[in-house]
Every structure is written in structure tokens, then in C-alpha cells.
Amino acid sequence: MKILVCISNVPDTTSKINFTNGDTEFDTNGVQFVINPNDEFGLTRAVQMKEQQGATVTVVNVGLADSEATLRKALAIGADDAIRINANPTDGTFVAKQLAEVAKQGGYDLIIAGKESLDYNGGMVPGMLSASLGYNFINSCIDLTVDGTNAKAMREIDGGKETLSTTLPLVVGGQKGIVEEKDLRIPNMRGIMQARTKAINVVEPTNNDTATKAVKFEKPAPKSAVKLVSADNLDELVNLLHNEAKVI
């Protein structure tokens, strides 16, 4: 079984976010980038399948040269090889088209992507990718097993969970639950050293057409100061909730 895992290179959630050029561009100065958490859960499940079923695991990223450190971490975790599509991933449609071209050439049986990236939160790529390829698709996947050409998956739905049976080839939009957080792999020294020597296959995008463009970014308004009320002053608390907060 050939598995392709789509990797996004996203800012660490602890990073301080700023914008430049009149709030039209993301400021990368001082920002640490990591594997998108939803993608890391999917990568770990793919590596488990490699160990249990003899699958091969390829990771792919649409990004510029500064994303290669993230790909090398994926290799250190257990991926066999890596592909970088040399383009700036600013548009979900564009990213899905580039990933589809790589998938067509590789003949992959299973494609695992995070259900969304934690920077743009578009949630578009896995569905668009499956549509472009004509593959079966399961989103919000929290459990996945494959037996031959048959797959069984569980996904989150409003108010519960749903178990589905399907066949390969398959695109999965994964999230926490496809493996648990405690099962995430920390690269060991051997994996890190091996990842340093593995070549990253860089391919050029098939076209540069994008469907959307970010016009401007705006940060949320800062939170107002907290007012502390003494525990024995209930009258003041009620007054503030009624007249200032207007919640009662």
C-alpha cells in the first residue's frame, strides 16, 4: 500500500502573530513553524500502517524552501521520502490542484491530509483533492483501519460519531483521534540523522493560477481589563453584571 501524507507548514500556536505592508502580508519574523497538528496525527497513523502492514509513506508539501525543515521532521518521524511543490500555498484551490498532480503521478492508494490547517482554517483541500482525483473521501476522520483494498473509518458528526466502510483509493481528512496525542512520534537521534541525508524531491507547480487572494488581515480586538470583585461584595458584582456587562 502506498500512502501519501499532505503536510502543511504552519506557525506554532504559541507564536505572536503580526502583519506587514498595511496588514496585507503575514510577518514571519521570529515565528517558529511546525507540522500542522491535524497533519501530524495523520502522519503518525500512516507510520503505524508502515510498521504494521508494510506500507510506504511519502510526505508532500506545497511550500517554499523554508518549509523543508518541517518535511525533514516528517522524515525523521518515519516517512520514507518527501516531495516539495515549489510554490507559496496561499490558496486552497491551488494547493489541492498541485497535490492532485503529484498524487496522479505516484499512484497512491491512500491519501491522508489534515481536515484543515491551523493558519488559514479553510478546510477545503482534502475535499477538493478527492474530487480532482475521483477518490472516495472521508472527512473529520477519528479512526481508520485498512484491510487489503477495504477501509473502515469513523468520523465526527454533529452530536456524535459515524462509522463508514469504503474502498481504496481513498482521501482522508484526519484530526486528533485518528491517533491519540500520546501516540504522536518524537523523532529520535537515528531518525534525525537519517532524515538529514534523504533527498527532498522538489517539483515545480503545474500552473500559478489562484482562485482567491487575501486582501487584508485583521487581528481580534484585545481583551478588556479584568475587574476583580471581592467575594463578600455581591451587590457590586450584580451591579456590574447588570449595568456594565449587561448579561443579566
Q: What pLDDT does residue 106 have?
A: 96
Reported as a single tens digit per residue, the pLDDT across 21-59 is 999 999 999 999 999 999 999 999 999 999 999 999 999
Per-residue pLDDT, averaged over 59-69, amounts to: 97
pLDDT at residue 49 in the model: 98
Residue 68 pLDDT exceeds 90: yes
Is residue 137 within 8 Å of residue 145, measured between CB atoms? no
Mean pLDDT of 92-97: 94
Question: Does pLDDT of 120 surpass 90?
Answer: no
Mean pLDDT of the chain: 94
In CATH terms, 2-219 corresponds, of 3.40.50.720, 3.40.50.620, 3.40.50.10490, 3.10.129.10, to 3.40.50.620
CA 127 – CA 104 distance, rounded (Å): 16
Grid cell of 76 as nine digits: 525523521
Cα–Cα dist 99/97, whole Å: 6
pLDDT at 99 over 90: yes
Alpha-carbon gap, residue 124 to 100, rounded angstroms: 13
pLDDT score for 71: 98
Confirm if 56 and 80 have CB atoms less than 8 A apart: yes
pLDDT at 2 over 80: yes
Give the pLDDT confidence of 126-150 residue by residue, as tens digits: 999 999 999 999 999 999 999 999 9
Each residue of 168-223: pLDDT tens digit? Answer: 999 999 999 999 999 999 999 999 999 999 999 999 999 878 888 889 999 888 88
Q: Tell me the pairing of strands 160-167 and 150-157.
A: antiparallel
- pLDDT at site 221: 87
